[in-house]
Structure 1
Amino acid sequence: MTTVVDRSGFRTQRLTLSGGERTWTVLGRDHRVVGPAEEYLEYLRVQKASPNTVKSYSRALALWWQYLDVFGLAWDAVTLEDFGSFLTWLRTGDGPAVVALEPGQARFEESTIAVRLRAVLSCYTYHQLNGVDVGRDLYQIAHGRGRNYKPLLEHIARRKGRRRAVIRVRQQRAAAPPTLTPGQIDRICDACARWDDQAHEWRGSVRNRLLWRLLADSGFRLGEALGLQHRDWHTGRGDTPFVEREHPHEVRAKSGYRRLYVSDEVDRLYGEYVWQLCEAGADLVTNDFDASHVFMNLDREPRFAPWKPDSVYDLVERLRRDLAGQVPAGWSPHWFRHNHATALLLSGVPMHVVSRRLGHADVQTTMNTYAHVTEDAELRAVADWTTLTAGWRAATDTAAIGRPC
C-alpha cells in the first residue's frame, strides 16, 4: 500500500485487492477508512468505473474531508454556503481564522477545482439517493434552452426539466489543443532512429521511433500504446494492418474496445522492431511472446519488462534538449493525439468518425475539443496535413476508420 496525499490528517491510500486489482480509498486522522467516502468509491467500483476515476474522486473526497475537519463541519450537516466556502478554500487554503488582505496564488487550476467539486457533488447525490438527508439543495430544475447540443431524448427530459448544479465553477473557454507540424514529427522520429541507406539498416532506437509514429498514426493515448501486447497487433498481409484494444491486460482501457488501422510504414517499422527484439532474446525470456508488451525496457533493468510512462518522459526531456529551437519546447506525447485528430479533420473525415477513432464516449467531447479545426483555414497553410494522412489507406474509407467489431 502506498500513501499518496497527506495533508492535515486526511489522505488518499492506494490498495491492492484480493484479485490483484489496484484501487484507492480515503483515510482519516485515525488512519481508518472514511466511511461515507468509501461507500461511494465502492459504488464506483461496482459500476466498473476506471481505476483512474476512482483515484481522482478519492483525491477530491480527501480534500473535502480535510475541509470539513479544518472548519469543524459534520459531513451530513453542510449547507450551500459551505460548498461555496469549499471552493474558496481550494483556491486559497485559508482556514476560518484567516482573512487574506491580498489575493495569493491559487493552489489549483480552475479546471481542477471543477473536477474536485463534481466528485463531491456526485458523492452527496449518491448518499441522498440512498436515504441520507443530504444534497437536497445542491441542484435546481432548469428548463432553459441555452445549449446548442441536445441529447437524443431531450424532447422527453424537457417536460420535467433537467437537474443543474447550483454550485458551479465558471471556467475559461478551452484553448485550441497544441499540435506539431508533420516536419516537427519527422524531426522527433529522426532524432530517435534513421535509416542508413549505405548500411541498409536502422541507426538508433527503432522502439522509440515506433512509439512516436504509432501515436501520430493512431491517436492512441500514451497509456494505451504502452499497454499494447504483441497479440493486439495484426500486421498487414495484403490488407490494411490494424491494432486492436480489446482488453487492457493490466490496466483498464479508458475507451474500451477499439480497432485502429495504421499505415504500412508503421507496420513495417513494427516488423523491424520485433526482429530486433528476437535478436536480443526477448522471445526467450517468456513462455508466451504474444502476451508480452510491445514496448519493453531495452536499456535498463529489469530488461524486457514493460516500458513505463516515467521512462518515456525521460526520453521526452532528452529530445526536448536535443531538438531545442526545432520543435515546441513544451511538447508531450499527448500532442500526437491532437495531431492525429487535427490531421483527420483537415483531411475531410467526418467529426463522428474521428470521435470513434479517438475512443471518445460522446461525439460532443470531440466537437468541444476540435471544433476550431474546421473553422481555421490557416492550419492548412502551416503543414501539408493531406500528405500526412495519405498513407492511412483506411482514412479515405469512412466506415473502416471506426468500424466496430
Structure 2
Amino acid sequence: MTQQRGSSQVSLAVVGGLVETGQVQEPFRLVDADGATVGPVAVFFRELEAANRSPATIRSYGMDLLRWFRFLWTVGIAWDRATSVEARDFARWLRLGDGVHQPYSASVRAHSETVLRGFYAFHLEEGLGPVLNPFPLDRARRGRRAHAHHNPMDPHREERVGRYRPVVASRIPRSVPDEEFNEIFARLPSDRDRALVAFYVSTGARASELLSVRQGGVDPGRQLITVVRKGTGASQQLPASTDAFVWLRLYQAHMEGLVPAGREEPLWWTIRRPARPLTYHGVHRMFERVNARAGTRATLHSLRHTAAYRMAEDPTLPLTDVQAVLGHAQLSTTQIYLTPRKEDVIRRVLDHYAEQSRQAAERTVPPPAPGYRPETLDVLFGGVAR
C-alpha cells in the first residue's frame, strides 16, 4: 500500500554527522545519533577510495548521504527497506523544504539524486542492499539503449536519467570583468596575496591545486610552476605570467628566514606568526575580506574561469592547449569558454547601437519632394542633417 507522506510534514532531526577523521585510509566517516559508524556508507566510502576518488569528493558524497539518512531516521525507515516512495518524498522535501530547512537548488538536488542512485546501485551489485533501487531511472528512458541512434559527431547526452533528478539549466561560467578584477587586485593587502591572485588568473589552476605547489616546483626562468591536479593527483607544470613571478619573488624576500626552506616545503605560508602552511580556508577567507572591501562578489573559482576565458579568446592559442592547461579530460568541457560572456555581449551590442546612431547622424538625406516643408521634416525626424 502506498504510504501518504507530505514533504511539508517531515522536519529532519539533526542527528548523526559526517566526521572528518584526519586519516588517509578513511578521511570521512558517517555516524548515527549514537556516534556509531553507519556501516553501509563506510563500505561505499571504501569503494570510492579504491576508485581513486579524492577526499573532497568523498566529503561531497557524504553530505548527500547524511541528508538521506537523516530523512530515513526521521521517518523510521531502515536504509535497506527504503522504496521509491521514500525517494519520491525525499526529492519533494529537497525541492520544497519544510519551513525550517530552505529548498535546495536544482544543482544540489541533481547531485544528491546521482549520489544516492549510485550508492544503492553499488549495494545491489554487491548483494547487500534492497532488491530494487529506490532511486529508479526515468520510466520513459530506462528501457532504451543508451545513445541509441546517436550521431558520433554530436556530443554525448545523458540518456539514462533518474526519475527524481531535476533538470539543471546550463550556466555560463562566471568570470571577473577587467574593471572588477583591477579593483580587487588594488585592495590585496600583501605581496603574497598579489602573487596568489596573479597565479590564479594566469594559470587557471584550481584553488587547492595552487596551494599544492612546493618550493622546488617553481621555475622562474621558464615561467613554470608544478601543481598537483585535483582529480588525478598527478603533477603538472603550468605556465604563468611574468607579473605573477615578480610578486612571488617579493613575497619570498619578505618571508626569507621566517619559514622553512627546502624543495619539498610548501610555497605558501600564513603571514601571521607563527607561520603555518596556507590552507584553502585561509586563502578563501582572505579573498572574502578583499571582496568586502572592494564591494565585489567574485570567488576564487571565478579566477579560474577568468583565466580560461582569456586564453580561449586568444586566436593564436589552440583550444587543445587551453584544455591541457586547465586539466580538462574532454575538449567539450573547454568549449564552454567559447560562449560569449554576458558583459561582452552587452558591450558589443551597445557599441553597435552607438555606431548606428553615429552613422545616422552623418548620413546625408536627399532634399524633400516638392510640397514638403524642411522644418516640418526636421521636427519629424529629429533634425537630421541635410
TM-score by length of 2: 0.74
CA distance in 2, matches of 1:49, 1:149: 31
Q: Quote the Cα distance in structure 2 between the aligned partners of 1:143 and 1:357.
A: 35
Counterpart selection for 1:181 from 172, 177, 180: 177
2:79 matches 1:112:
no
Cα gap change, 1:302/1:152 in structure 2, threshold over 3 Å: closer, same or farther?
Answer: farther
> How far apart are the structure 2 equivalents of 1:224 and 1:171?
27
Which of structures 1 and 2 has the bigger CA Rg?
A: 2
Match of 1:134 in 2: 131
Residue 201 of structure 1 aligns with which residue? none
Output one character per residue of 1:256-276: Cα deviation in whole Å (capped at 9) or x when no partner.
432211122322332232222
2:19 aligned partner: 13
| Alignment-derived partner of residue 270 in structure 2 | 297
What letter corresponds to residue 50 of structure 1 in structure 2?
A: S
Find 1:207's aligned residue among 192, 198, 207: 192
- Say yes or no: does 1:243 pair with 2:245: no
Task: After TM superposition, give the deviation of residue 117 of structure 1 in Å.
Answer: 1.6
Q: Which runs of 5+ in 2 are unaligned?
A: 1-11, 350-386
Q: 1:84 to 1:146 in 2, by over 3 A?
A: farther
2:235 is aligned to: 257
Contact 1:210 1:269 in 2 (8 A): yes
Question: Contact 1:26 / 1:62 at 8 angstroms: preserved in 2?
Answer: yes
- Describe the SS at the equivalent of 1:378: helix
C-alpha separation between the residues in 1 aligned to 2:254 and 2:164?
A: 56
Deviation at 1:65, TM superposition (A): 1.2
Residue 344 of structure 1 corresponds to: 311
RMSD: 3.4
Shift of 1:38: 1.1
Superposition deviation, residue 67 in structure 1: 1.3
Q: Which residue in 2 is equivalent to 1:313?
A: 284
Whichever residue aligns with residue 19 of structure 2, its letter is Q
**Shift, 1:149, TM fit:** 8.2
Change (3 A) 1:226 1:163: same
Are residue 225 (structure 1) and residue 210 (structure 2) matched?
yes
Q: Deviations over 1:126-147 (max 9, x none)?
A: 0111124434572324347699
Distance between the aligned counterparts of 1:269 and 1:331, measured in 2? Answer: 21
Deviation string for 1:141-174 (max 9, x for gaps)? 43476998859998xxx9xx96443331222332
For 1:259, give the aligned amino acid.
Q
User: 1:365 is matched with which residue?
Assistant: 333
On the 8 A contact 1:373/1:379 being kept in 2, the answer is no
Distance in 2 between the 1:188 and 1:272 partners? 19
Query: 8 Å contact 1:93–1:107 — kept in the other structure?
Result: yes
Q: Note closer, same or farther for the CA distance 1:143–1:306 as it changes in structure 2 (3 Å cut).
A: same
CA contact under 8 A between 2:198 and 2:241: conserved in structure 1? no
Q: Write the distance in 2 (CA, Å) between the matches of 1:308 and 1:129.
A: 39
1:71-94 Cα offsets, whole Å, 9 max, x none, are: 222322332232111111223454
3-state DSSP of counterpart to 1:373:
coil
Structure 1 length as normaliser, TM-score?
A: 0.71
Q: 2:244 aligned to 244, 266, 270, which one?
A: 266
2:60 to 38, 48, 56: 56
Matched-pair identity in %: 21
> What is the CA distance between 1:63 and its match in structure 2?
1.3
Q: How does 1:122-201 map to 2 (within 5 A)?
A: 122-132=118-128, 133-136=130-133, 138-139=136-137, 140-143=142-145, 163-174=160-171, 176-192=172-188
Superposed CA deviations along residues 304-334 of structure 1, whole A, max 9, x for unmatched, are x11233333343343234333xxxx211222
Other-structure match for 1:393: none
Q: 1:374 to 1:109 in 2, by over 3 A?
A: closer
Cα distance in structure 1, aligned partners of 2:92 and 2:39? 25
CA distance in structure 1 between the partners assigned to 2:346 and 2:27 by the alignment: 42
Unaligned runs of 5+ in 1: 1-5, 95-102, 193-203, 383-405
Q: Is the 8 A contact 1:242 1:261 kept in 2?
A: yes
Structure 1 residues 211 and 136: alpha-carbon distance in aligned structure 2, compared to 1, 3 A threshold: closer
Q: Quick one: structure 1 residues 146 and 171, their matched pair in 2 at CA, closer, same or farther if it must change by over 3 Å?
A: farther
| Larger mean Cα displacement after TM superposition, 75-84 or 310-319 | 310-319
CA contact under 8 A between 1:255 and 1:361: conserved in structure 2? no
2:46 is paired with a residue of what secondary structure? Answer: helix
> What amino acid is aligned across from residue 165 of structure 2 in structure 1?
R
Partners of 1:27 and 1:34 within 8 A in 2: yes
Instruction: Find 1:355's aligned residue among 320, 323, 328.
Output: 323
